[in-house]
Each structure stands twice: as structure tokens, then as C-alpha cells.
Amino acid sequence: MKTIIISLSSLLVGLALGWYLGYVQPNAKANREAMKQFATMDADDTMAAAVAYRTFIFYDAGETQKAMQALAWPIGAYYRYNKKQPLTEERSNFLAKIEQLASTNQVVATEIHREP
């Protein structure tokens, strides 16, 4: 009888430990990583909205040059950062489009060649 109680107790402790280490811990880690991703996406959305808001303010005030500069800033930041990263086909194509725009737009050309 004593052996059966010890065996059942060991089995229950093993099941509980396996459930905790195999299910609870990985789920908690996945949730933390998902929350970090959502925070990054929220920051990106906030920055995009701030740039768009500022551009609309300049545009409504008739200051189209300042509106273009407000739009050129994220283009330049993207270009300068991604030019140093390993190129994928998609990134390479988009950087080429930015360079093509810079060849006809002085505001963008100035921004992509600006020192960080």
C-alpha cells in the first residue's frame, strides 16, 4: 500500500512539473514576446501618425516645402538605416525607388545624404 501511495504521489508530482515546464513556461515566454512585438508596432504606428499629422498641419497652412521636408524625414531615416543592413530583394528594390525619387527631388536627396 505504501508503495502505491508513493508511486501515485510521484506520478502526480511528475505530471504537475511536466505541465508547468512544458506548457505554462513556454506560453508565458510566447506572451512576453508577443507583447514586445505589439509595443514595437504601436511605436511605429505612433511615429507614422505623428509624421502624417505634422504634414497635414504644414499642408493646411500652405507651407508645402515644410510638408515635403516632414515627409522626407522618415524616407531618409529608412534609407540611411537600411542601406547598412543586408539587402533582400524587396529592400533593394525599395532603396532603388528612393534613389530614383532623390534624383528628381532635392528635399529627398538632401535627407537621404544627411549625416545622422
Specify whether 4 is located in the same domain as 57.
Answer: yes
Structure pTM?
A: 0.60
Give the pLDDT score at 37: 80
Specify whether 57 is located in the same domain as 69.
Answer: no
Domain count, the chain: 2
Per mean pLDDT, which range of 5-14, 17-26, 81-90, 99-108 is the poorest? 17-26
Q: Which domain holds residue 93?
A: 63-116
Give the pLDDT score at 1: 78
- Mean pLDDT across the stretch 39-50? 77
Specify whether 58 is located in the same domain as 98.
Answer: no
Indicate whether 88 pLDDT > 80. Answer: yes
Specify whether 27 is located in the same domain as 10.
Answer: yes
Indicate whether 15 pLDDT > 90. Answer: no
Indicate whether 109 pLDDT > 90. Answer: yes
3-state SS of the chain? CHHHHHHHHHHHHHHHHHHHHHHHHHHHHHHHHHHHHHHHHHHHHHHHHHHHHHHHHHHHCCCHHHHHHHHHHHHHHHHHHHHCCCCCHHHHHHHHHHHHHHHHCHHHHHHHCCCC
Specify whether 20 is located in the same domain as 50.
Answer: yes
Specify whether 88 is located in the same domain as 46.
Answer: no
- Mean pLDDT across the stretch 14-26? 77
Band of pLDDT at residue 16, cut at 50, 70 and 90: confident
